[in-house]
Amino acid sequence: MDSDTLLFLTLVNVFVLLLLPAEGAEYYGTFPNNFMWGLATSAHQIEGAWNDSGKSEHIWDRFCHAGKCWNGATGDVACDSFHKYMVDVQLLKKIGVTHYRFSLAWTRIIPNPLTGEVNHEGLNYYQKLIDELQRNNIIPLVTIFHWDLPQTLEDIGSWANESLVGYYKHYADVVFKAYGDKVLMI
């Protein structure tokens, strides 16, 4: 078994363990027929391709590259889902997932929030992922911000700088226009 599949199945096991009741043996091993099986990931933890296709640096890239993560770990490659998303979707399908929650990397969609220019390669990547999920009858749920603030915004004061509201609104508008009718957003 390759390391990507092992990591994926580990996440599934953790998810299932969290669902099992601590008491009430009558419920063990049974779920309603309409139970919605889902998994969740974050862009930084799974995508890799940290500087591919126009993506810029976010705060976790900077933090990891500064050597502050265990054993020098970074999200530079991670599970390489950016390049292997079709394989990942097949793994989701294989284990019976009906819903998949993933986050969008703001820095992949708008690499420099100060200019606001949209990176169409980033938009296309997420569109291909959404299309692949839907082709495989998996409902995509999107988190538009998963604590991976663009480093350029951190450098101007982070969320304490009120101008971030406008930058975030622009990002949210782009995301809602691109995917709002295709996914559930949480």
Model confidence pLDDT, tens digit, residues 69-91: 999 999 999 999 999 999 999 99
What is the model's pTM? 0.83
In the chain, the percentage of residues whose pLDDT exceeds 90 is 77
pLDDT in tens, 41-57: 999 999 999 999 999 99
**Looking at residue 31, what is its pLDDT?**
75
- Assign domain 35-185 one CATH number from 3.20.20.80, 3.40.50.300, 3.40.190.10, 1.10.1040.10: 3.20.20.80
Q: Where are the domains of the chain?
A: 35-185
- 92's tokens: 């989701």
3-state DSSP percent of the chain in helix, strand and coil, to 5:
50, 10, 40
**Looking at residue 36, what is its pLDDT?**
82
Place of tokens 């390391």: 3
| Weakly modelled stretches of the chain, pLDDT under 70 | 1-29, 186
**Looking at residue 35, what is its pLDDT?**
80
Answer positive or negative: Cα dihedral of 93, 141, 173, 106.
negative
**Looking at residue 7, what is its pLDDT?**
53
